A and B are shown apart, each in its own frame.
Chain A
């Protein structure tokens, strides 16, 4: 620039400084970007490989850990249901949540119960069951509940209700409650002895032209039952000891104190006995909700006793789903890590052999 104006010369210097600073800034940004890009690319690869590894592990876990639908816990529960409750030969198959156990021999003496109301399993009829299995079966306390929705032909609702009551009585159960809608549809709550539960469901299915839904759930309360029994035994021992001391008491003060303690222990024994009885009762008899509707019956108002999803159950389901996936990944890693190590060893051997050949 051929100018005599000093201000313009100064301004040119200033602009050059700014341009130089800008160039430096851009170069630094480019360098940092490249570093970040390269570093990021490295991390991306590591993360990608790790993610792929976990996905494969999860897939393997789902395949080998119960078909990807049931968790190991569910499988156990299902197994306990199958073991604890005698099946009617799989007639009531098609359960959505707890599939029917494999066909087990039917008992000849279905109404056999022990003094606690527990179903008694005849060893002769469970010919294939070992003694240990039988012991496990006897200890298991499973509360079974279910619900089933069936469709009957038009104008057959009354007959179906009659048949349902007959089925309940036939298997030693009864109808707790019922509600009907225009004599064309209704809901019934049945209590059925647990060991005849599956046969009852099978008979109810026979009434239907179409089964809308069926769901059977098993709740394992064995641990709670054993816990209560242990408490009961301790309290009974304590009661016996206190009774001995009570008999040996000589002063009024001692007698009163012992009496109070005995009363207290007795009260607690009765409470625990009540809980044990309740569990036995729940185990001995299953609750079955039956919805019957005619083929072309108008849709009834939603039943309040039907398990509607709520926020709490959704959260539970979400947590359950998350834990299942984590569990599947862990199971899969159990398979994948040894396989990967084996592969690495094979690769190392092959690589070493090739290298030694190349050197020679």
Chain B
């Protein structure tokens, strides 16, 4: 049965009842992943940022104070902070997950396409095409095949004469680099409003 408590209530209660945080996670995890995916363009980074954001929010849940705003806004505040660090350093922080003793998990191969599906590349294809010139050749080819020509990963792997896993890595790293380049140029990859 669906928990009827509001996000703010769940956050407040989670201070003494940690299990309540899982309800909050189930409600907003996919939205937050989409939020990160549309900004980083990279499934791996988006997944890592989602995990780190929830870990950080869990670790800091006792500091949450209900001021009347929706509780999820507080989680997106943590998310923005994580995203800013990512764009500044080019890597995802792992401090909160390490502190909580959470295991390191690789993104399963099938999740790459599922997360890419969360990103709507259509509005940013033009910007991507312009930014491709700044990437390494192997990353650029992988991105061109996958994002511009919208080929599947098996086809990309075949075209590039590499394994599927290698093709995913090239696309992922190329997208991460692309997101950083777009960020440096002041071009926001994501166009939708935050939740």
Contacts and interface: CB of A to CB of B under 8 A. Distances in A.
B124 interface: no
Interface residues of A, number: 21
Contacts of A63: none
Contacts of B67: none
Contact of B25 (A10, A12, A17): A12
B114 A4 contact: yes
A249 B58 CA distance: 107
Interface in B37-70: 47, 50-51, 54-55, 58
Contacts of A21: 101
B114 A11 contact: no
B110 A6 contact: yes
A18 B101 contact: yes
Interface stretch (B15-23, B81-89, B181-189): B15-23
Given A1-B26, A11-B54, A15-B25, A26 B33 contact: no
Interface residues of B, number: 30
B33 A23 contact: no
Contacts of B18: 18-20, 22-23, 26
Interface string A72-109: 00000000000000000000000000000000000000
B123 interface: no
Contacts of B27: 1
B105 A11 contact: yes
B115 A5 contact: yes
Interface string B106-124: 0110110011000000000
B100 interface: yes
A19 B105 contact: no
Nearest to A14: B102
A26 B21 CA distance: 15
Contact of B107 (A3, A7, A12): A7
A241 interface: no
10 contacts: A4-B114, A5-B111, A5-B115, A7-B51, A8-B50, A14-B51, A15-B21, A18-B58, A19-B58, A26-B18
A7 B14 CA distance: 23
A21 B101 CA distance: 10
A37 interface: no
Interface of B: 14, 16-19, 21-22, 25-27, 29-30, 33, 47, 50-51, 54-55, 58, 100-103, 105, 107-108, 110-111, 114-115
Nearest to B32: A8
A12 B105 CA distance: 12
Contacts of A16: 19, 22
A45 to B, nearest CB: 30
Q: Is the interface of A mostly helix, strand, loop or mixed?
A: helix
A10 B103 CA distance: 10
B22 A8 contact: no
A5 B111 CA distance: 6
A20 B21 CA distance: 11
Give the 5 A-B CB pairs with smallest separation, nearest first: A19-B18, A1-B26, A22-B18, A6-B108, A7-B47
A7 B105 contact: yes
Contacts of A5: 30, 33, 47, 111, 114-115
Nearest to A11: B51
A327 B54 CA distance: 66
Given A8-B29, A17-B102, A26-B16, 6 more contacts: A8-B30, A11-B25, A11-B105, A20-B18, A23-B19, A26-B18
A12 B102 contact: no
A4 B26 CA distance: 13
A16 B54 CA distance: 12
A4 B116 CA distance: 13
A105 B45 CA distance: 108
A34 to B, nearest CB: 15
A15 B47 contact: no
A9 B103 CA distance: 14
B26 A12 contact: yes
Given A1-B30, A3-B30, A5-B115, A12 B50 contact: no
B115 to A, nearest CB: 7
B29 A11 contact: yes
B189 to A, nearest CB: 20
Contact of B108 (A7, A14, A15, A23): A7
Contacts of A11: 25, 29, 50-51, 54, 105
Contacts of B115: 5, 7
B50 to A, nearest CB: 7
A6 B102 CA distance: 16
Given A19-B21, A26-B18, A10 B26 contact: no
A12 B55 CA distance: 11
A12 B111 contact: no
A213 B158 CA distance: 112
Contacts of B51: 7, 11, 14
B102 A18 contact: yes
A277 B18 CA distance: 89
Given A5-B33, A15-B54, A20 B19 contact: yes
B22 A14 contact: no
